[in-house]
Structure 1
Amino acid sequence: MTPAETPEETEQRVGLILACVATVLLLASLGQTSVSPAFPTIAAELGGLDRISWLVTAYLLASTISAPICGKLGDLFGRKIVIQVGIVIFLGGSVVAGLGQTLEMVTLGRAIQGLGGGGLIVTAMAVVADVLPARRRGRVQGMMGGVFGVSTVIGPLIGGFLVEQLSWHWIFFFNLPLGLAVLVILQLILRRAPPRARPPVDYMGAALLATLLSCGVLIANLGGRTLAWDSGALLTLALLGVAAVAGFIVTEARAREPILPLTLFANNNFVLLNLWGMISGAAMFGTITFMPLYLQVVQGVTPTVSGMFLLPMMAGIMGSSILAGQVMVATGRYKFLPIMAAAALTVAMLLMATLAPDTPLWQVAVFMAAVGLGIGPAMSVGATAIQNAVASSMLGVATASANMFRLIGGSIGTSVFGAMFASGLQARLAGEQARGALGDLRALDAATVANLPPDLRDTVLRAFSEVLHPIFLIAAALSVVAGLASLALKEVPLSTILPNPPPEA
């Protein structure tokens, strides 16, 4: 609150800031979710079906890299300039992708979008910590987690509508009016940080962090699929990643303003909460990846209907995220929430491990909702508790870590689960494939399976169901680890005051 503002005026301004922050989060998260319905169309029009996954990988890689860097820049230069530049970069990437006439150009646009989008998410969430004391953040962070759930539901619907009614190019152009409107409003309501001596920027640390994250994400996405695990290219990536880790540790230990301070990893709550976030990310992205496959191939539903089965999970995520935020506001405590969430996620994954060809669809919907209930608190509790555990000078980079580790968990988890699924299916159907009853397993889809002879179809359906069971059992085991680790959290009561309100907020 400034001297010229009354408390009521301050509350109104903070409310407007939070509304803009939610819109920024929606803009960035729609960049992840609205494009997926266009992938088949883009592949058909531009060619390169074997490279279409790079439209996902490029965005994921760029956003993972930009998150911690933008978080630190926000700490150094203020949130306003970083979030404005992030919007401009995101919109620039949208234009490049929308105008793309080759798959390479669209992929470049997606990478540029990711650089802006990753920064937008973490900087916007850090703004919440700038304008609200810790005790009040829980409710708002829960609502912000709900924004991600909303984008996962409406993103594919918007994308599908634009592809069918206009063209896939408009999925990217759709971002422009919304982004420009938010840019103007933020210029009016966010105050710029006061002039200060130019702080040192840890360029070497940023480059090494980008390198090690790139290697990690690329290995997770390419290993066992595009590149064999023992290939020279993958081993080179691994060696480069190891060298980047060593160089990063040395650089950050000496830097005046490290891009990701190593002291954070000595913070018990920082480490344990990010571990929880990684496991939740693996569970969420793994479920989103494999459940549509199960529903379409085993249950025989259409792609549209299989997408609708994500709604119960997203409702669970939104509901439990908001509820956890309300509980933190009411009690000022949070340690028991990760423990309960991990227990709920464990039960949900054990239920998912019982899926079979004859599982009623209503039970599938209930299981999906249970998964959402176990994941949701990580959205609100994780960010709030991490922010509460670190110094105010590290709010941006600490907030960025929550998003970074969740993305890393999702990327690595999906890759490992994908390798397990492929090898398990190959092992179960090797006999049928050997006697010529089945062709290339990579070409199996719902239509192909539906046209198989009844006995062979039943064998394939059982194989598809059973190969998912180890995936969900491992996810359940990881959830137990998250719950046990949460027992070691140190309860730091959430503050009810804003100790150092930043001038730009």
Structure 2
Amino acid sequence: MNDTPQARQHERVHDTEQTPLLGGTHNAQEPRTAEPDANDLSSARLAVVFGSIWIIVVLTALDSTIVATLTAVISTSFSSFNNLSWFGTAYLVGTAATQPLAGRWTDIYGRRRGLIVAGIVFGIGTLLCGLATREWVFILGRAVAGAGGGATTATSTFVGADLVPLRRRGVVQGINNIAMGCGTGLGGLVGGLFNKWFGWKMAFLVQLPIVVLGVVLCAVVPDIPSRPAKEDHGRRLDYAGSVTLVLAIVLLLVGLNAGGNQVAWSHPLVWSTMALAVILFALFLYIELRYAAQPIIPLGLLLHRTVWSGCLTYFFAHMAAFATMYYIPIYLQVRGSDPTHASLRFIPQSIGTAIGAYGTGLLIKATGNYVYLSAAAHVFLVAASALATTLDGQTPSWCPFLYLGMMGLGFGAMLVTTMLALISSVEHSEHAVVTSASFTFRAIGSSTGITVASAVFQNTLIRGLHRRLGDGEDIDELTERIRRNLDAIWELDPPTRTAVQDGYMESLRFVFIAILIISAISMACSLVMRQNKLHNNLARR
């Protein structure tokens, strides 16, 4: 096989926007890339392709807000309110485990097969959540669902890269975010209503028929790419790098979640997991640099200015967004809202995300520029985070509604501008690896955001409650009870309840201050990205 640099350069010259992202050959029944416009599917055919794929993608969005809305209810049913961060982070750790490999795996075995397998895995995880009678079963189900949902979301992006020119991709991503916004908005409402009528488990079980429909459509829609495997690719999948990265992330999150929450920061569980995480991260870097033939995160590529700044933008923006998503409902429930009422606050965020993503896609299609739009997006993110720090027990009820809408508007625009910055800064043959890397940063950022917010919340809450209620064995027991069960607040006498609510509000303010700082860091990273050319067709002209 001729694998000289000259041969590789010759192959790259002939790459088009529809060349397999990581190699592979065309199936005779797939769209081919002979002429610049011959490969462009009609809008109707693209609608069928993405409509089929987005059924499960939308469910992953719906699933995230179902859990965010019902976090307090679910954790209370297991008497483990102080472990609530794991209900969110388990899903996101599962996502981080599969997204790095999704590009290479689906290039070898086909996008269609990848979507089918990912959908089945997501369905199994959702079923486990719906049947869980123990906390560890629910957390396992969240991790399994995250593995399937993460792979589905990543693969839908690769299909977009196969079928849609770069300059139009922002519009497709915008429509995708509208669909996900609908899932996000409906998820909280569906979760709240099903919890009220049938119990929280039914909120998961009702998703299963829709998962089956999505899997069937992905199996039968003809235009979903199904590229054949290259026999030598299996040996080049970076399983060692994936395992070490995922283990490092899990250990890091265990340490962050346990420190000051379940055990003291000086406890061996904390420092040992942190130390092992650092060792595994170092091992991961060694594997990627020295051993992996096909690194899951090409470290040399991350040295590119726009790539590293874009990945860090995703990391910090997702930290801020997911921390907000999980702690605004807690703020509302501490004020006395039931889960159904709290879930309605996700609707403006979903509408904002949809408008921000689709509007940004249209503007990029018209102007070809994303740098200024990225800066504008972060103005909304930072402003919304700053306003959230003012929330307290006397804040008018419409304020969280407005702040979440602003957060969604900035977040939706940021998703589009950052992705286009990343993929326009590298060769088309590197689109999948840079997209996988970005999804990894997004997943780790989401997990870290929830965990850091939980660490800030739980540690400041303990100190605040003791300052307001005093010390003593009875106070320690009361503090532990109301940390495990949010409903216990309403069983307290009025003076004690007021003191506890004030303690919760103070802790939430610290969380929102942390989110503001993280949003500002995301904005600083986004300002480093450069403007690149966006092509108008699949022939990259």
Q: Shorter-chain-normalised TM-score: which range?
A: 0.7 to 0.9
Question: Quick one: structure 1 residues 300 and 320, their matched pair in 2 at CA, closer, same or farther if it must change by over 3 Å?
Answer: same
The whole-number CA distance in structure 2 between the counterparts of 1:265 and 1:404 is 13
**Which residue of structure 1 lines up, in the alignment, with residue 436 of structure 2?**
400
**Which residue of structure 2 lines up, in the alignment, with residue 277 of structure 1?**
314
**Which residue of structure 1 lines up, in the alignment, with residue 244 of structure 2?**
208
The whole-number CA distance in structure 2 between the counterparts of 1:466 and 1:122 is 38
The whole-number CA distance in structure 2 between the counterparts of 1:384 and 1:239 is 36
The Cα offsets for residues 89-141 of structure 1, whole Å up to 9 and x where unpaired, read as 22233344445555444443333222211111111122112111110011111
Asked if 2 retains the 8 angstrom alpha-carbon contact of 1:75 and 1:397, the reply is no
- Quick check: 403-412 or 27-36, which moved more? 27-36
Asked if 2 retains the 8 angstrom alpha-carbon contact of 1:83 and 1:123, the reply is yes
The whole-number CA distance in structure 2 between the counterparts of 1:270 and 1:386 is 5
Asked if 2 retains the 8 angstrom alpha-carbon contact of 1:31 and 1:113, the reply is no
Question: Quick one: structure 1 residues 356 and 182, their matched pair in 2 at CA, closer, same or farther if it must change by over 3 Å?
Answer: closer
The whole-number CA distance in structure 1 between the counterparts of 2:332 and 2:177 is 26
**Which residue of structure 2 lines up, in the alignment, with residue 489 of structure 1?**
529
**Which residue of structure 1 lines up, in the alignment, with residue 415 of structure 2?**
379
Q: Report how far residue 375 of structure 1 moved.
A: 2.0
**Which residue of structure 1 lines up, in the alignment, with residue 206 of structure 2?**
174
**Which residue of structure 2 lines up, in the alignment, with residue 263 of structure 1?**
300
Question: Quick one: structure 1 residues 253 and 464, their matched pair in 2 at CA, closer, same or farther if it must change by over 3 Å?
Answer: same
Question: Quick one: structure 1 residues 474 and 113, their matched pair in 2 at CA, closer, same or farther if it must change by over 3 Å?
Answer: closer
Asked if 2 retains the 8 angstrom alpha-carbon contact of 1:47 and 1:103, the reply is no
| Residues 1:471 and 2:511 are matched in the alignment | yes
| Structure 2: 5+ residue stretches without partners | 1-30
Matches within 5 A, 1:22-61: 22-35=54-67, 54-61=86-93
Helix, strand or coil: the match of 1:262? coil
Question: Quick one: structure 1 residues 260 and 72, their matched pair in 2 at CA, closer, same or farther if it must change by over 3 Å?
Answer: farther
Asked if 2 retains the 8 angstrom alpha-carbon contact of 1:94 and 1:110, the reply is yes
The one-letter amino acid of 1:277's match is Y
Matches within 5 A, 1:10-21: 10-21=42-53
Matches within 5 A, 1:268-307: 268-297=305-334, 299-307=335-343
Normalising by structure 1, we get a TM-score of: 0.87
The whole-number CA distance in structure 1 between the counterparts of 2:399 and 2:73 is 33
The whole-number CA distance in structure 1 between the counterparts of 2:505 and 2:82 is 26
Question: Quick one: structure 1 residues 39 and 72, their matched pair in 2 at CA, closer, same or farther if it must change by over 3 Å?
Answer: same
| Structure 1: 5+ residue stretches without partners | 501-505
Asked if 2 retains the 8 angstrom alpha-carbon contact of 1:144 and 1:380, the reply is no
The whole-number CA distance in structure 1 between the counterparts of 2:242 and 2:39 is 40
Asked if 1 retains the 8 angstrom alpha-carbon contact of 2:421 and 2:530, the reply is no
The one-letter amino acid of 2:230's match is R
The whole-number CA distance in structure 1 between the counterparts of 2:395 and 2:199 is 38
| Residues 1:185 and 2:217 are matched in the alignment | yes
The one-letter amino acid of 2:313's match is W
The whole-number CA distance in structure 2 between the counterparts of 1:336 and 1:498 is 25
Candidates 155, 162, 184, aligned match of 1:123: 155
Helix, strand or coil: the match of 2:261? coil
Normalising by structure 2, we get a TM-score of: 0.82
Q: Report how far residue 420 of structure 1 moved.
A: 2.6
Question: Quick one: structure 1 residues 8 and 349, their matched pair in 2 at CA, closer, same or farther if it must change by over 3 Å?
Answer: closer
Matches within 5 A, 1:209-248: 209-248=245-284
The whole-number CA distance in structure 2 between the counterparts of 1:355 and 1:11 is 45
- Quick check: 396-405 or 117-126, which moved more? 396-405
Candidates 399, 402, 412, aligned match of 2:448: 412
* Seq. identity, %: 28
Q: Report how far residue 461 of structure 1 moved.
A: 4.8
- Quick check: 266-275 or 158-167, which moved more? 158-167
The one-letter amino acid of 1:129's match is A
The whole-number CA distance in structure 2 between the counterparts of 1:13 and 1:428 is 58
**Which residue of structure 2 lines up, in the alignment, with residue 441 of structure 1?**
479
- Quick check: 488-497 or 10-19, which moved more? 10-19
Asked if 1 retains the 8 angstrom alpha-carbon contact of 2:72 and 2:330, the reply is no
The Cα offsets for residues 376-422 of structure 1, whole Å up to 9 and x where unpaired, read as 22222222322222333333332233333223223222322333333
Helix, strand or coil: the match of 1:383? helix
Question: Quick one: structure 1 residues 67 and 194, their matched pair in 2 at CA, closer, same or farther if it must change by over 3 Å?
Answer: closer
The whole-number CA distance in structure 2 between the counterparts of 1:97 and 1:137 is 35
The whole-number CA distance in structure 1 between the counterparts of 2:381 and 2:389 is 12
| Residues 1:112 and 2:149 are matched in the alignment | no
Matches within 5 A, 1:332-371: 332-371=368-407
**Which residue of structure 2 lines up, in the alignment, with residue 138 of structure 1?**
170
**Which residue of structure 1 lines up, in the alignment, with residue 28 of structure 2?**
none
Question: Quick one: structure 1 residues 230 and 499, their matched pair in 2 at CA, closer, same or farther if it must change by over 3 Å?
Answer: farther
- Quick check: 179-188 or 158-167, which moved more? 158-167
Matches within 5 A, 1:58-69: 58-69=90-101
The one-letter amino acid of 2:415's match is M
**Which residue of structure 1 lines up, in the alignment, with residue 10 of structure 2?**
none
Helix, strand or coil: the match of 1:34? helix
Asked if 1 retains the 8 angstrom alpha-carbon contact of 2:92 and 2:446, the reply is no
The one-letter amino acid of 1:312's match is P
Q: Report how far residue 238 of structure 1 moved.
A: 1.6
The whole-number CA distance in structure 1 between the counterparts of 2:202 and 2:259 is 33
Q: How big is the alpha-carbon RMSD for the aligned residues of Structure 1 and Structure 2?
A: 3.3
Question: Quick one: structure 1 residues 144 and 191, their matched pair in 2 at CA, closer, same or farther if it must change by over 3 Å?
Answer: closer
The whole-number CA distance in structure 2 between the counterparts of 1:38 and 1:480 is 29
Helix, strand or coil: the match of 2:300? helix
Helix, strand or coil: the match of 1:20? helix
**Which residue of structure 2 lines up, in the alignment, with residue 421 of structure 1?**
457
Helix, strand or coil: the match of 2:57? helix
Q: Report how far residue 271 of structure 1 moved.
A: 1.3
Question: Quick one: structure 1 residues 286 and 90, their matched pair in 2 at CA, closer, same or farther if it must change by over 3 Å?
Answer: closer
Question: Quick one: structure 1 residues 478 and 296, their matched pair in 2 at CA, closer, same or farther if it must change by over 3 Å?
Answer: same
Helix, strand or coil: the match of 2:175? helix
Asked if 2 retains the 8 angstrom alpha-carbon contact of 1:264 and 1:270, the reply is yes
The Cα offsets for residues 167-192 of structure 1, whole Å up to 9 and x where unpaired, read as 65544443333233222322332232
